[in-house]
Structure 1
Amino acid sequence: MAQGFRTTGLGTVHDGGGDRPRGLRGIPAVYGLLPLRVFLGVTFVYAGIDKLTTHGFFDSSGPGSIGDMMRGVRDSAAVPALVDLALKSPGGFGLAIALGELAVGIGTLLGILGRVAAAGGALISLSLWLTVSWQSTPYYYGNDLAYLMAWLPLVVVGAPVLSFDSLLPGRRRRAA
C-alpha cells in the first residue's frame, strides 16, 4: 500500500514508497499550500492591525466607524440578525473581529493550531460575506467569499510543514 509523502519536524520530507513521485517532484505535494498559508496569514495580521490602529474605527458612528458601516449594510445583508447583533455593541464587535483576525493570522503564519486558526479564518470570512459583502453583484466581486474558499484547504490540511504544529510530539509520531 502506498503511503506517500509525510513530514516531520520543520518540513523534512519522507517518502513512504509506492507510486508517488520522489525527490523534487514530491515537493509540491508537501509545500503546495505554503504560499496560501503565508498570504492568508499576512493578510489577516494586516487586517487586524489596520483595524486596531485606525482612528474612529471602533466608534458607534462617524466617518470610518464600524457602527456606520454595519448600519449601511444591514438591509442588504443575507443575515440581518448578525448585523443587529453586532450593532448592540459596535465597538466590541469591531474589537472582536480585529483581535480574531490578528490571532488567526499569527496562528496561520506560525502554524500554531493550524486547523483551528484556519477554521477561525473561515468563520470570520463567512460572517463578513453574509453581512458586509453579500450585496456585491455579481457575487464574485465580493472578496469575502474568495477568502472563505481559500481557508477551506487549510482547514483540511492544517500546517504540516514549517510550523509549530509539526514540532508537537504527537504530530511527529503520527507522521513517522
Structure 2
Amino acid sequence: MTHTYRTTETYDPPDRRDGLRARAGRFALLPLRIFLGVTFIYAGIDKLTDSQFMSATGSGSIGELMSSVRDTSAVPALVDLALKSPEGFGYAIAFGELAVGIGTLVGLLARLAALGGALISLSLWLTVSWQTEPYYYGNDLAYLMAWLPLVLAGAPLLSLDALIAARRRRIP
C-alpha cells in the first residue's frame, strides 16, 4: 500500500518583477542626482559670471542681499560673518556650489558632495530665506531635504565612486 502525501505549501520561484523592482530601485536617486548636480553647477557659474552679484555694495550685490536679510535671519551671526567680506563669501558659495554640483553629477565623493550641498542649503535657509512665509514658499528648505537621501545613500550607481569601488574589489 502506498501513501501519497500532499502539502498545502507550494514553492513559488522568485518573480521576475522582483528583480526588475530591485534594479529599478538602484536607479531611483539618479534623477535627483542629475537635477541637484546640474542646478548647483548652474548656480555656481551664474554667481561667478555676474559681476554685479560679486560686489560688496550696489543693487543686486551679495553685500546688499546679506545686509537686507541680517535682521530677519535665524542666525544673524552667520550673516555678520558673511558681511566681513561679502565678495569672499560670494566666491566661497559659488565655488562650493560648483564643487558640490560636479561631485554630485559625476558621483565622486558623492556623500561628501551631498553633505556640502545640504550645508549650503541649510545656511541659505537659516539666513536668506528664513523670513519667507509660509515656510514652504522658500526653496532652500526643499533643497536641504532633497540632499538628505544622497547624504544617506551616496551614488551607488553610474558614478565614479561605484567605478572606484569596483576596481578595488577586483584588485587582490
TM-score (norm 1): 0.84
**Offset from partner CA, 1:4-44 (integer Å, 9 cap, x none):** xxxxxxxxxxxxxx999633222321000100010000000
Q: Is the 8 A contact 1:129 1:144 kept in 2?
A: yes
- Deviation of the 1:64 alpha carbon: 1.1
CA distance in 1, matches of 2:16, 2:109: 28
Q: Which has the larger radius of gyration?
A: 2
What runs of 5+ residues in structure 1 fail to find an aligned partner? 1-17
- Deviation of the 1:168 alpha carbon: 1.3
Structure 1 166/46 Cα, relative in aligned 2: closer, same or farther at 3 Å? same
Identity percentage of aligned residues: 72
Matched, 1:28 2:24: yes
- Partner residue, 2:66: 70
Q: Any residues of structure 2 matched to 1:102-141 within 5 Å, and which?
A: 102-141=98-137
- Partner residue, 1:5: none
More strand by share: 1
**Offset from partner CA, 1:108-135 (integer Å, 9 cap, x none):** 0000000000000000000000000000
**Offset from partner CA, 1:82-113 (integer Å, 9 cap, x none):** 00000000000000000000000000000000
- Partner residue, 1:87: 83
Matched, 1:149 2:145: yes
Structure 1 20/75 Cα, relative in aligned 2: closer, same or farther at 3 Å? farther
- Partner residue, 1:165: 161
Matched, 1:38 2:34: yes
CA distance in 2, matches of 1:115, 1:21: 30
Q: Is the 8 A contact 1:165 1:171 kept in 2?
A: no
Structure 1 72/20 Cα, relative in aligned 2: closer, same or farther at 3 Å? farther
CA distance in 2, matches of 1:94, 1:129: 16
Task: Name the count of aligned residue pairs.
Answer: 157
Structure 1 172/140 Cα, relative in aligned 2: closer, same or farther at 3 Å? farther
CA distance in 2, matches of 1:44, 1:69: 19
Matched, 1:100 2:84: no
Q: Is the 8 A contact 1:126 1:145 kept in 2?
A: yes
CA distance in 2, matches of 1:115, 1:142: 24
Q: Once superposed, what is the RMSD of the aligned Cα atoms?
A: 1.9
